[in-house]
Amino acid sequence: MMHSAIFDTAAISGIRLQNRLIRSATHESMAESSGAPSAAHEKLYTDLARGGAGAVITGYAGVQQDGRTSYPGMLMMHDDALIPAYRQLTDTVHRYDTPIILQLAHCGRQTRSAITGMKTVAPSAMKDLIFNEERPLELGENAIETIISNFAAAAGRAVKAGFDGVQIHMAHGYLLAEFLSGYTNRRRDRWGGSTSNKFRIVSEIFRRIREEQGDFPVLAKINGFDHRRGGMRRDEAVRVAMLLEASGCSAIEVSSGTIEEGLSIMRGPRFPSEALLACHFRFRSIPEPLKKAVGPLLRAAMPSPKPYRNYNIETAKAIKEAVSIPVIAVGGIHTLEEISAALESGAADFVSMSRPFIIERDIVRKMREGRQTASRCIMCNYCAIMVEGGPLRCWHGKLPRKRAEAAVQQ
């Protein structure tokens, strides 16, 4: 595929994209306390649309209160009252002929009851190493049915709000990934054990959305693998992808990793210890003199797996060989060469990016116009840590002292 083919129009289940480069879901810590999108969201998504993104996938939006993230400013889609604010947002983005897809999520055990005000829940009552303030509650039958209903209801609201589709977040160790991974799902009932049992909650969500919303596009973001013992591996991810296709999924975005594993979802050569010590709830209250000693320990305890680039491409390829719906590859694909290779090699139909859009909202237009061939992102991952303290931005591996202090106080 020539570079130019990257910039040809393409489609996902009837959604028309101006090119094959998608803004991958990125939590922005920008929502109103109600969970409604803010003026900052409108500006961000407008910039992304004007800047040439083929489609915008929003930051994750919660389907119910106990599934909120522990970061501030999460988008929510749990209440009909939010529909008008989202309608205004989608109308604005559509002015730039750009589709917008709402990512729906439940954070499962990867959140904190100190923030949600509710017990954390998970398929099995296993503590998370990062969020281990408490042992999560093992979900019962009724609670699982409620979650399925809430995903379907949130998708219904997305239809009313004018979204072009929804994406179900079943990656990165959040609730649905916890069901799919044998590491976090130790159940012996119909929701655990075999791949089809672990997948049951997902198939029920798709069945409900299909029943209620017909052929409205529903995408999925999955983990091709995690690094947990007995967890998700490529072969099983391929089976999950086939089950998704059979469930009426419109496209599969292939990612990997969990938060517990450290820097595996968004990898990088530089460990963000400075940002962690400034902003992360576990480390920010360590006395200043101690922080100097803790930094190297953190670095040693949480190395980023390698490679730092293109790390989901082999799994995307295996999945693409097994399904006929579009496959989207994400994860360290930051240069025009890498994008071309992902598409040309037949590993993916689309490429999505997150961090390159944080540093340059108009990266796609710059690439299309031949002004730039690579993202300026240095993969420092400060963006991913500092959203705990305030709105998403690029820090480019440096915390100005005043900013860092301000972030901690928020």
Ligand X SMILES: Cc1cc2nc3c(=O)[nH]c(=O)nc-3n(C[C@H](O)[C@H](O)[C@H](O)COP(=O)(O)O)c2cc1C
Name which of 30, 21, 54 is nearest 383 in CA terms.
Answer: 30
- Nearest-approach distance from CB 330 to ligand X, in angstroms: 5
- Nearest-approach distance from CB 112 to ligand X, in angstroms: 17
CA distance 65 to 177: 18
Nearer to ligand X, 93 or 342 (CB): 342
- Nearest-approach distance from CB 49 to ligand X, in angstroms: 18
How many C-beta atoms lie closer than 10 Å to residue 180's C-beta? 27
Ranges assigned E (strand) in 248-316:
251-255
Nearer to ligand X, 124 or 375 (CB): 375
Which two tokens mark 400?
A: 């100005």
CA distance 345 to 329: 12
- Nearest-approach distance from CB 103 to ligand X, in angstroms: 6
| Binding residues vs ligand X (CB under 6 A) | 24-27, 59-60, 103, 169, 171-172, 221, 255, 265-266, 330-332, 353-356, 383-384, 387, 392
Nearer to ligand X, 120 or 354 (CB): 354
**Residue showing tokens 């069901």:** 179
Nearer to ligand X, 325 or 384 (CB): 384
Ranges assigned E (strand) in 331-400:
350-353
- Nearest-approach distance from CB 190 to ligand X, in angstroms: 27
CB 250 within 8 A of CB 217: yes
Nearer to ligand X, 240 or 330 (CB): 330
CB 232 within 8 A of CB 224: yes
Nearer to ligand X, 251 or 383 (CB): 383
Nearer to ligand X, 68 or 141 (CB): 68
CA distance 181 to 229: 10
Q: Which positions ≥6 away from 401 have C-beta within 8 Å? A: none
- Nearest-approach distance from CB 193 to ligand X, in angstroms: 26
- Nearest-approach distance from CB 169 to ligand X, in angstroms: 5
Strands 218-223 and 251-255, bridge-based pairing:
parallel
